Amino acid sequence: MKVTCMFCKTEHLIDSNHSQYEKLKSKQSSSYVCKSCNHSLQSEARKNVDYDPEVIDPYKFDKLIP
């Protein structure tokens, strides 16, 4: 499936192994974010936060909730 990143506007080819593929295919989502933009956004968000997520959930309980 050919998709365009909503931030950098570059085209990418994704297959069924990609994490966003099913949502895009079933039209649950209409926006795609490439890995480099996603990483950039996450690192920028971490810079603006004064706490470490590991301190809030050291035992990773929220990973148990589906």
Instruction: Dump pLDDT digits (tens) for 53-64.
Output: 667 777 777 766
**Is it the case that residue 65 has pLDDT exceeding 90?**
no
> What residues have CB less than 8 Å from 16, skipping those under 6 apart?
22
Range of the structural domain that residue 51 is part of: 2-63
Q: What pTM does this model have?
A: 0.62
> What total of structural domains would you count in the chain?
1
pLDDT in tens, 17-52: 988 899 899 988 889 999 999 999 988 888 877 776
Strand intervals (E) in 1-66: 2-4, 11-13
